[in-house]
Amino acid sequence: MSDFRGYDIGRAGQTSTVETRNKVLRNTYLLLALSMVPTVFGAWLGIATGITTRSGGGSLVFMLVAFGLIFAIQKFRNSSAGVALLLAFTFVMGMLLSRLIGMTLGFSNGASLIMLAFGGTSVIFASMATIATVSKRNFAGMSSWLFMGLIILLLASVANIFLHLPALMLVVSVLAIVIFSAYMLYDLQRVINGGETNYVSATLSIYLDLYNVFANLLMLLGIFGGNRNN
């Protein structure tokens, strides 16, 4: 009798855990999809007003605002304010992205390059989500290596601000795509395995992964495939 009851309780707990994981994953995907709306609007507004291209000060201000919003999102992640802050953050990130998109649209095939970068990012996301779902391997051990790679990436990016080496810029972009694709796999599996139980925090992490993959992929496509207008 007691064994049967214990088994029953165990099954109920397991079902609850699975349901919780599925709920977090579902809400993460929904919020991630919703976050694309303010991103696109922010990018459009940035191109229309040219606010991020008027000297470097505009972009710097938006970057500082974005960092402030990240801390605010984490602080209010357990309330509806966290969702609102996340959507505001994605709008600001869209504004920051407008400079790169505007430069890409300067190519005769700019619209095609943007769609190609979007398609490539979607393929990477679908691939990482599939691996995270079906793989029996635990990718939690990647965290320390990914963090080291991120530090190297940041140092290389800062160095190139002063060195202006085209080859280093290409290396940074390729490295960024690899690192943030791996981070995507890591972050997705954390949600799927129950390591991340807050869908606002999960959405923020995965959004940043997608954003960096898209931006760097678009940059590479512009360098190698952009056609200058005559």
Report domain extents, the chain.
2-225
Q: pTM to 2 decimals? A: 0.89
Length of the chain: 230
Please state the rounded mean pLDDT for residues 65-81.
Answer: 94
**pLDDT value of residue 230:** 58
Q: Look up residue 50 and give its amino acid.
A: G
- 222 near 107, Cβ under 8 Å? yes
Write phi, then psi, for 146 (nearest 5 degrees): -65, -40
On the question of pLDDT at 191 being above 90, the answer is: yes
Quote the CA–CA distance of 43 and 58 in Å, as a whole number.
14
| 29, amino acid identity | Y
Lowest average pLDDT, out of 43-52, 54-63, 98-107, goes to 54-63
d(CA 32, CA 179): 20
